[in-house]
């Protein structure tokens, strides 16, 4: 049977999950688009419901095999559910991973975000952290939800490739420092040379407007990128990408 009504119970539930209230109440989040749904399947996430536009029924077996309750729907149902203007043919609800900080952190590069609130920056930084081999991403309490629609799309599936932890960032940076991590933060008052890095480092990226908080900065080695033009600073995700690349080179050299 093809679902045709936006008042269908499963459609209404999925629409709710795309909101902050729905994510908090259900523990699921909403994803859309061929690329993101494929990444979710490959990553082995736990699916709830999946909706495919009629004409794409070959994907029903793939999604059913991944544990999803699959529904075939009319085009206007996809458009009703999606958060994009020209949505693709598939969307789904997915169990949100556990974001509690671990009892024991993995070694390597950890990226910490201090009140990063722009959804595109959040998703792009998570994707870059994944590409640079980061062990995880640590989020302060003031950050945008990484599993809300815009960040999860911008991450292009990377949110399922590495752990994302939400925490009191000050206490976690102190904890990481005590177990041997070098805390480094991007800061306009920093040195133009990275500190000595051997094995484990936590890179802190601050808020788009006011940067890293003073309390967090006081726990870190301060580093700034050299600027050769007129602009004094870079977009948070651009700066994060450049610094992550420099750190990853040191860790993998």
pLDDT in tens, 109-137: 999 999 999 999 999 999 999 999 999 99
Neighbouring residues of 21: CB distance < 8 A, sequence distance ≥ 6: none
Give the residue with greater pLDDT, 187 vs 116.
116
- To the nearest 10°, report the CA torsion of 60, 42, 128, 107: 150
Q: Are 162 and 135 in contact (CB under 8 A)?
A: yes
pLDDT at 187 over 90: no
**How many angstroms separate the CA atoms of 212 and 161, rounded?**
26
**How many angstroms separate the CA atoms of 202 and 49, rounded?**
37
Domains of the chain with bracketed CATH: 2-95 (3.30.1330.30), 109-252 (3.40.1280.10)
Backbone angles phi, psi at 60, to 5 degrees: -60, -40
pLDDT at 190 over 90: no
pLDDT at 251 over 80: yes
**How many angstroms separate the CA atoms of 122 and 142, rounded?**
12
pLDDT at 232 over 80: no
Mean pLDDT of the chain: 94
Neighbours of 37 (CB within 10 A): 26
Exposed e or buried b for every residue in 133-145, given b needs 16+ CB within 10 A? ebbbbbbbeebbb
């Amino acid at each position: 049977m093809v679902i045709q009504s936006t008042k269908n119970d499963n459609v209404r539930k999925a629409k709710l999950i795309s909101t902050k209230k729905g994510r908090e109440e259900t523990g699921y989040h909403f994803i859309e688009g061929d690329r993101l749904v494929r990444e979710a399947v490959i990553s082995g996430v736990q699916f709830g419901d999946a909706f495919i536009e009629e004409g794409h029924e070959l994907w029903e077996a793939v999604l059913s095999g991944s544990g999803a309750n699959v529904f075939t729907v009319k085009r206007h149902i996809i458009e009703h559910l999606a958060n994009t203007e020209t949505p693709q043919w598939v969307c789904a609800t997915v169990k949100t991973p556990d974001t509690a900080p671990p009892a024991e952190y993995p070694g390597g590069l950890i990226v910490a975000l201090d009140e990063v609130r722009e959804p595109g920056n959040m998703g792009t930084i998570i994707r870059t952290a994944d590409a640079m081999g980061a062990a995880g991403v640590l989020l302060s309490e003031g950050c945008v939800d990484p599993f809300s629609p815009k960040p999860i799309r911008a991450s292009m599936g990377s949110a399922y490739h590495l752990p994302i932890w939400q925490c009191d960032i000050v206490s976690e940076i102190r904890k990481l420092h005590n177990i041997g991590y070098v805390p480094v933060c991007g800061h306009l008052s920093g040195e133009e040379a990275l500190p000595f890095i051997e094995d484990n480092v936590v890179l802190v990226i601050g808020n788009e407007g006011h940067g890293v908080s003073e309390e967090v900065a006081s726990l870190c080695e301060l580093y700034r990128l050299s600027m050769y033009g007129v602009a004094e600073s870079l977009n948070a995700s651009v700066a994060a990408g450049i610094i992550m690349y420099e750190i990853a080179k040191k860790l993998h050299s």
